[in-house]
């Protein structure tokens, strides 16, 4: 295709500019719409890919955050009872029997005449409670909650009473 350029003193006329511009534009409105829609479709596809990638990144973070919040929240229920303590090791299991939920914190009171030893979740670390002594164990930020409380009295043949009040 040859283009005829009209010159006026070395300058291109307005007619020549219009012809050059017309050659750069698409031939029909349908072709213009097709080009526009293809570009829109690519933008939409890229946007969808970005959404899927963000969802893959955000979902694990949101799940761990919700688990942490649930773990740190109090249900508002209190379990309380007074147990007879002997020289044999006894326990109160909160996960294996009702309420089937580990405690967040526990308030302990030795209401007897002899010392009572208490262990939380394992029998390696015993706390000694003197008569009429109170103790609060709070596992609010801990990785493991209070699942089981072990208790025993000091010395053979000795007995006591232990009040246990736990929150979950």
Which pLDDT tens digit goes with each residue over 8-18? 555 556 656 66
Do residues 29 and 103 both lie within one domain? no
pLDDT at position 159: 93
Single residue among 72, 89, 119 that ends a domain in this structure: 72
Single residue among 72, 88, 112 that ends a domain in this structure: 72
Kind of pairing between the strands at 116-120 and 148-153: antiparallel
Do residues 44 and 28 both lie within one domain? yes
* Entry pTM: 0.58
Q: Which domain holds residue 63?
A: 14-72
Single residue among 40, 72, 104 that ends a domain in this structure: 72
Do residues 158 and 88 both lie within one domain? yes
Do residues 26 and 89 both lie within one domain? no
Do residues 85 and 108 both lie within one domain? yes
Q: Which one, of 115, 103, 98, lies nearest residue 161 by Cα?
A: 115
Q: Find the CATH number of the domain harbouring 103.
A: 2.60.120.10
**What share of the chain in percent tops pLDDT 90?**
37
Do residues 90 and 61 both lie within one domain? no
CB contact set of 44 (below 8 Å; sequence gap of 6+): none
User: How far is 33 from 29, CA to CA, in rounded Å?
Assistant: 6
Overall domain count for the chain = 2
Which pLDDT tens digit goes with each residue over 90-140? 999 988 887 788 888 999 999 999 999 999 999 999 999 999 999 999 988
**What share of the chain in percent tops pLDDT 70?**
73
Give me 96's structure tokens: 């294996």
Do residues 38 and 118 both lie within one domain? no
Do residues 115 and 60 both lie within one domain? no
pLDDT mean across residues, the chain: 80
pLDDT at position 154: 85
Evaluate whether residue 7 is within a structural domain.
no
Give me 151's structure tokens: 């208790």
Do residues 44 and 66 both lie within one domain? yes
Evaluate whether residue 1 is within a structural domain.
no
- 161 pLDDT above the threshold of 90: yes
């Amino acid at each position: 295709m040859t283009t005829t350029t009209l010159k006026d003193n070395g300058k291109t006329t307005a007619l020549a500019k219009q012809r050059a511009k017309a050659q750069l534009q698409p031939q029909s409105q349908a072709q213009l719409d097709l080009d526009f829609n293809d570009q829109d479709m690519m933008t939409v596809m890229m946007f969808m890919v970005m959404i899927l990638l963000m969802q893959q990144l955000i979902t694990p973070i949101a799940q761990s955050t919700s688990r942490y919040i649930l773990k740190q929240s109090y249900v508002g229920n209190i379990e309380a009872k007074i147990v007879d303590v002997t020289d044999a090791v006894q326990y109160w299991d909160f996960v294996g029997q009702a309420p089937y939920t580990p405690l967040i914190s526990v308030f302990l009171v030795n209401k007897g005449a002899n010392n009572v030893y208490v262990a939380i979740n394992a029998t390696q670390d015993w706390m000694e409670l003197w008569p009429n002594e109170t103790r609060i164990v709070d596992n609010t930020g801990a990785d493991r909650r209070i699942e089981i409380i072990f208790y025993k009295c000091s010395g053979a043949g000795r007995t006591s009473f232990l009040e246990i009040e736990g929150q979950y």
